[in-house]
Amino acid sequence: MFILLVLNVMCGYSQENLTVFLRGAKYEKVCVYVSEKNDKVCAEIQEDSLLENWHNVEIIGNGKNRYNVIIRSEQHPNTFMVKGWINKKNCGVYLYGRHRLNNQYAVNVYQSPHDSKPIMTLLNTCPDSFPQGEYGAVPVLDVYRDGTSYWVKISIRHDGKSIVGWTKDYCPNVYGSCN
């Protein structure tokens, strides 16, 4: 069932922003708020995995606990749906091994986007089979643009430990494949 209840709509668009997807929206409605600090809801979005009604979430602003976003249909990416603020925990990406190390795919996690050595390297035989978070995707806790691309701050569980760090080894595609 595809649900989009829009009460207030504001427009704006830029190709320079990071696109992620909604975590958990196929299980429960995700609220879109009027502002970063106001709890007034301007839309509720729920995705439908059976009909494959997914959404692209373009981050256009970064607040303390919420992102300012433009939400579009995955099937019709040029169609504007709603602009507002959503909780950071509702934005997600999949980890994706872009590098090869010892005949395995690697995801490098850094303490900060400015570090040259990773604090951890996750290895796997498949580029898109890395540990994910609740709802199958890792939350995007923060974003940083280094001039050419985006770093995302993530939180994952690995070997029984919680790891928080920054990576460029991710896929913003809801299907979890960057091919």
For residues 18 and 26, what is the distance between their CA atoms, to the nearest angstrom? 22
Given a cut of 70, is residue 178 above it in pLDDT? no
Polymer length in residues for the chain: 179
Region 124-144: mean pLDDT is 73
Is residue 177 included in any domain, yes or no? no
Burial class of residue 103 (count of CB atoms within 10 Å of its CB; 0-12, 13-18, 19+): exposed
pLDDT tens digits, residue range 163-176?
Answer: 899 999 888 766 65
* Same domain for 159 and 101: yes
**Residue predicted with more confidence, 145 or 16:** 145
- Within this chain, do residues 157 and 98 fall inside the same structural domain, yes or no? yes
pLDDT in tens, 1-41: 334 333 333 323 334 678 787 776 566 788 999 999 999 99
Token pair in block for residue 85: 């603020």
Q: Which residue has the higher pLDDT, 29 or 76?
A: 29
Task: Please count the other Cβ atoms lying within 10 Å of the Cβ belonging to residue 5.
Answer: 13
Specify whether 87 is located in the same domain as 41: yes
Model confidence pTM above 0.85: no
Say whether pLDDT at 147 is over 80. Answer: yes
Residue 55 tokens read as 């959404």
Give which of 135, 13, 165 is closest to 80, Cα–Cα.
Answer: 13
Same domain, yes or no: 73 and 114: no
70 within domain boundaries: yes
Write down the pLDDT at residue 11. 29
Strand-pair category, 41-46 with 30-33: antiparallel
- Domain carrying residue 7: 3-92
Mean of per-residue pLDDT scores for the chain: 78
Q: Are 177 and 128 in contact (CB under 8 A)?
A: yes
Residue 68 has pLDDT above 90, yes or no: yes
Shared domain for 107 and 162, answered yes or no, is yes
What's the domain count of the chain?
2
> Is the confidence at residue 152, as pLDDT, over 90?
yes
Summarize the confidence of residues 112-121 as an average pLDDT.
90
- 129 plus 101 within the same structural domain: yes
Whether 114 and 162 share a structural domain: yes
Q: Which among 92, 116, 140 is the end of a domain?
A: 92
* ∠ CA 36-16-81, rounded to 5°: 55
Same structural domain, 58 and 100: no
Q: How far is CA 101 from CA 21, 42, 110, 151, 158, in A?
A: 28, 46, 17, 21, 19
Whether 87 and 107 share a structural domain: no
